[in-house]
Amino acid sequence: MERRVALITGGARGIGRAIAMHLARDGWAIAICYRTSQDAAQYTVKSIQDIQSTDDHIFAVQCDVSDSESAKALVQQVQGRWKRLDVLINCAGPYHRVPLLQETVEGWDAMFQNNLHPVFYLSREIAEGMKERRWGRIINFSMANADQMIAQTHVTAHYIAKAGVLILTRSLAKALGPYGITVNAISPGFIDSGSAFPDELSTVVKQIPAGYIGDVNDTVSAVTFLLSDEARYVNGSNMHVSGGWGI
């Protein structure tokens, strides 16, 4: 079988990096997309080159996927390099905390432009190649409790965008399912990915039924399953990786 190719947005750090490292160990060709984390991206590329003993199967691209033309060019670049693109993992998802009525128009727009719109832009561009090969996987990252429609007064726009990701996931799953393509969402809870403050994690652990904070390997395990042929009949799902928080 030909080497499969994955594009991972937000692949320079945290959960995205952990996924990239795992797929590298399994022999995948990997493109990671980053917007500002150039040093982290270079470090990830070097780590994967060390795993695979080659630089032929990994590269990093700086790209603002909130721009539809840039997202299109990114997909074309990856497909041009490896002549195929089998998997899209939409892992990028910046957020900020601000009281709702103090949110700016720019801040509000940014949450949708960076969390929701790229999922549509990239999925649309990658779909045709997947349809031709009659196989593909798209995995989108939402957040635990985004399906609960509860009030969120400090991350409102981010929360709405992540709820939108779930709706888009199900819609893409229905549209692409007849072509052997599955589209699923993973909704992490509190994961120690290096982006949260330690005291914040120590405070919320009491709210997690499992009794501990998850790590990036918990999300990697979920991704590994959804990419596998064992998950061929799993489509349009939302997998919580939260230790029971948010349900």
Active-site amino acid positions:
159
- Dihedral angle computed from the Cα positions of residues 214, 217, 219 and 225, in that order, rounded to the nearest 10 degrees: -140
- Pick left, alpha or beta for residue 143 (phi over 0 → left; psi -120 to 50 → alpha; otherwise beta): beta
Per the CB < 8 A criterion, the answer to whether 11 and 17 are in contact is: yes
- Report d(CA 24, CA 51) in Å as an integer: 7
Would you state the structure tokens that stand for residue 112, as one six-digit string? 């949708």
Which residue's structure tokens are 């982290």? 40
Per the CB < 8 A criterion, the answer to whether 144 and 189 are in contact is: yes
Per the CB < 8 A criterion, the answer to whether 131 and 179 are in contact is: yes
- Report d(CA 205, CA 186) in Å as an integer: 20
Query: Could you tell me where the DSSP H helices lie in the chain?
Result: 14-25, 38-52, 68-82, 105-115, 117-133, 156-176, 198-204, 216-227
Q: What is the CA radius of gyration of the chain?
A: 17
Buried b (16+ CB within 10 A) or exposed e, 44-55: bbeebbebbeee
